[in-house]
């Protein structure tokens, strides 16, 4: 059983039955944990923020005046388009730009983006 032993205001040692572990500054530990968790949530690879520059914050713009308005598309249509861009089998004049944009996305990321875009109305 582990037990935290307080040595001063912010330095703790975590102890189990046989060993003392390295001192832990609890304030730094908690702040670091919060920052890492927040960053992981906000910097998801499937964030629409990267798309908003061309498509608008709600998918309401024609990207560079050449694409369709994507806001409110059915999730299946978005997923088909993104996977097609990734493999190079989908798209017209924007094919080259979009291939680079979706290359880093996993299938799970593509599904997540498809849900986000289909919810935009």
Higher pLDDT, 23 or 62: 62
pLDDT over 60 (residue 48):
yes
The count of other CB atoms within 10 Å of the CB of residue 40 is 9
Which ranges of the chain does DSSP label H, i.e. alpha helix?
A: 26-42, 49-55, 75-87, 95-102, 107-118
Of all residues in the chain, the percent with pLDDT exceeding 70 is 62
CA pair distance 60, 52, nearest whole angstrom: 9
pLDDT over 50 (residue 43):
no
Set out the domains of the chain in order of their start, with CATH numbers. Answer: 3-42 (no CATH), 49-118 (1.10.760.10)
Q: Structure pTM?
A: 0.61
Q: Between the CA of residue 111 and those of 47, 85, 87, 98, what are the distances in Å? A: 11, 14, 16, 16
| Contact status, residue 109 vs residue 46, Cβ threshold 8 Å | yes
Q: Between the CA of residue 49 and those of 39, 55, 59, 93, 113, what are the distances in Å? A: 14, 10, 10, 22, 10
């Amino acid at each position: 059983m582990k037990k935290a032993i307080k040595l001063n205001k912010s330095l703790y040692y975590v102890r189990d039955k046989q060993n003392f572990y390295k001192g832990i500054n609890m304030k730094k530990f908690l702040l670091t944990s919060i920052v890492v968790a927040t960053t992981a949530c906000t910097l998801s690879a499937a964030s629409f923020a990267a798309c908003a520059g061309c498509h608008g914050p709600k998918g309401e713009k024609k990207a560079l005046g050449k694409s369709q308005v994507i806001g409110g598309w059915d999730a299946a249509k978005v997923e088909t388009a993104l996977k097609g861009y990734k493999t190079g089998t989908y798209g017209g004049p924007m094919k080259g730009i979009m291939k680079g944009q979706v290359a880093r996305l996993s299938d799970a990321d593509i599904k997540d983006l498809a849900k986000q875009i289909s919810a935009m109305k």
